[in-house]
Structure 1
Amino acid sequence: MTATLALRPAEPSLPTPPNDPGQQLDWLLDQVRTNRFMPHPPAENIFVGDGDYRAIGAEFLGHFVRIGRLKPTERVFDIGCGIGRMAVPLTQYLDPARGSYDGVDPVMDGILWCAQTITPVYPRFRFQRLDIAHPLYNPQGSLPGTEVQFGFPNQSFDFITMISVATHLPPEELTVYLNEASRLLAPGGRLFLTAFTITGEPTGQERLKFKRWREGPGWYAIEEAPLAAAGIEEEFLLSQTQGAGLLVESLGRGHWRGINAPHYQDLLIATKPENGR
């Protein structure tokens, strides 16, 4: 684990990290949440959802390490990197010489902020825009979501994140993304994906009320903008993940269901087999 390095001059009074390895991650997450020198985009430019930018980034870094088993030396690919909410905390965790990060997103403003703020200090953090068409985030995009191909060779990454990406995709596009993730993962690599998975009848405790969309495996919570909060049938998600050549490790329930859980959306962890294609 690397020491906390702000993207501006270091704060003189920054406390010393503990020697106990078991406490180092908690210390690092606290620094990500509270270090005022950590970069933060202007509030009006944050298009990646509600909540505290730094706190959510720190939360997911903890999930990446504890649930996804992310190591500092691994190669990370962040699909839908937005305006750096996952990238900023990862600058404090990934080894600056051996780890790496690549992020893609269709929203130019987010990519520009990340490329101008993060990459000059952390050159192994790279960002690129892919002009994917999306009715909410990039309505004039030139590339249909069913034709997405990320410009990296096979087995380029050890850890791929899709945070709040499946929640904005129709089922046929989600299948394409799963196949691309499988292609890009090295054997033993993990996919870390969040979703609203639909299982059976609602309990009435859910914070979002989904309705079936187009008689298929997709569901929506906002009728006038179905892809603002898209659900997916659990059976479809699992079958498409397995069909892409990944082994489903776990699917944890999120507290959007009205239950106690460490994360809001449901969380899928899938692994590329050691003998995977």
Structure 2
Amino acid sequence: MNAHLSHDHIHPQTSREDNFKLEWLLQSIERNRFLPEPDPEKVFVGDGNYRAIGAEYLGHFVRIGGLKPTDRVLDIGCGIGRMAVPLTQYLDPDTASYEGIDPVKDGIEWCVQNITPIYRNFRFCQVDIAHELYNPQGAMAGDEVVLPFCHASFDFVSLVSVATHLPHREIVAYAHEVSRLLARGGRVFLTAFIVSPEDIERAEARPNFIPGEEQGSWIADPVAPLGAIGFDRGMIESALEGAGLKVDLVSLGHWRGTSSSHYQDVIVASKPGGPA
């Protein structure tokens, strides 16, 4: 693996002028009181300000992941639309498309009722994947995941706070499915906890990881190991490469107590054979 490792990163295609325009857009999204936003008690994953976090990740998608306004986007683990809402202001309504999937029915229903009627190129569907915390009665096992989309349907796939809640075998399965769904030159933006011994020795690190039962895994809570799970460096990258993807970047997050623009670690990989 020859991916660039950094604590922060700006995609080389993001010019100073584009970055200025993006910053203006992100600020306008945070101020726009007319954008859809669920009641706080309905937000079932993640803490913090719904609009601000969504805008923050739109910035990461563009600056780190190279997202383009014309991309066909798949948002795996879309939840209750936190990434989708700011993307409505960035993706071109005529040429781009967005598909959001999640195992939690309530979040999908909110998105269908509040986003799709206004933004017709944004669609959402529940995929009944089993997860011990979010969908314990799901019909499809996570390590047998098959998503309802055709081969090479997407230019950009996001998995934000997905790998942080999955055992390694399921991350491997998702990597193969993402590889199937990406067009050549397409990119995947994935967040994770990449853990090394020096990370867990830092007093500032949050979560405070301990070794998990699975070899190479690290967990924050033995009672709910999938509440926050990390892996040794190289394990997630190898899963992506084993699925035929090229790891382009590993950008370290500030969960470990170091400086970074993002909390979780970010891995960007691409499907070989097309434009970057």
Instruction: Please report the TM-score for the alignment, with normalisation by the length of structure 1.
Output: 0.90
1:133–1:140 CA contact under 8 A, matched in 2 = yes
| Equivalent residue number for residue 201 of structure 2 | 203
How far residue 151 of structure 1 moved from its aligned partner, in angstroms, is 1.1
Deviates more, 1:151-160 or 1:198-207: 198-207
How far residue 200 of structure 1 moved from its aligned partner, in angstroms, is 3.3
| Equivalent residue number for residue 231 of structure 1 | 230
What are the within-5 Å matches in structure 2 for residues 182-197 of structure 1?
182-197=179-194
**1:191 alignment partner, SS class:** strand
How far residue 21 of structure 1 moved from its aligned partner, in angstroms, is 4.6
**1:158 alignment partner, SS class:** strand
| Equivalent residue number for residue 164 of structure 1 | 161
What are the within-5 Å matches in structure 2 for residues 172-187 of structure 1?
172-187=169-184
How far residue 153 of structure 1 moved from its aligned partner, in angstroms, is 1.2
What are the within-5 Å matches in structure 2 for residues 69-108 of structure 1?
69-108=66-105
Give the Cα separation in 2 of the matches to 1:215 and 1:192: 24
What are the within-5 Å matches in structure 2 for residues 238-253 of structure 1?
238-253=237-252
1:150–1:180 CA contact under 8 A, matched in 2 = yes
How far residue 127 of structure 1 moved from its aligned partner, in angstroms, is 0.3
Relative distance call for 1:21 and 1:252 in structure 2 (3 A) is closer
**1:94 alignment partner, SS class:** coil
| Equivalent residue number for residue 111 of structure 1 | 108
Q: Deviations 1:245-264 (Å, cap 9, x if unpaired)?
A: 11111111100000110000
What are the within-5 Å matches in structure 2 for residues 4-15 of structure 1?
none
How far residue 214 of structure 1 moved from its aligned partner, in angstroms, is 1.6
Give the Cα separation in 2 of the matches to 1:121 and 1:188: 30
**1:68 alignment partner, SS class:** coil
* Structure 2 unaligned regions, length at least 5: 1-16
Count, aligned residues? 257
**1:81 alignment partner, SS class:** coil
2:136 corresponds, among 114, 136, 139, to: 139
* Structure 1 unaligned regions, length at least 5: 1-19
How far residue 208 of structure 1 moved from its aligned partner, in angstroms, is 1.2
Q: Deviations 1:167-217 (Å, cap 9, x if unpaired)?
A: 000111111011111111111111000001112343323111112222412
Give the Cα separation in 1 of the matches to 2:261 and 2:252: 9
Whether 1:120 aligns to 2:117 is yes
How far residue 22 of structure 1 moved from its aligned partner, in angstroms, is 4.5
Q: Deviations 1:89-125 (Å, cap 9, x if unpaired)?
A: 0000000000000010000000000001111111110
Give the Cα separation in 1 of the matches to 2:91 and 2:35: 16
| Equivalent residue number for residue 211 of structure 2 | 212
Letter in 2 for 1:56: I
| Equivalent residue number for residue 42 of structure 1 | 39
Letter in 2 for 1:266: D
Letter in 2 for 1:88: V
Letter in 2 for 1:269: V
| Equivalent residue number for residue 259 of structure 1 | 258
Letter in 1 for 2:167: P
1:187–1:275 CA contact under 8 A, matched in 2 = yes
Larger RCO (alpha carbons 8 Å, 6+ apart): 2
How far residue 218 of structure 1 moved from its aligned partner, in angstroms, is 2.1
1:171–1:217 CA contact under 8 A, matched in 2 = no
Q: Deviations 1:66-111 (Å, cap 9, x if unpaired)?
A: 1111111110000000000000000000000000000100000000
Give the Cα separation in 2 of the matches to 1:175 and 1:266: 18
Instruction: Please report the TM-score for the alignment, with normalisation by the length of structure 2.
Output: 0.90
**2:259 alignment partner, SS class:** coil
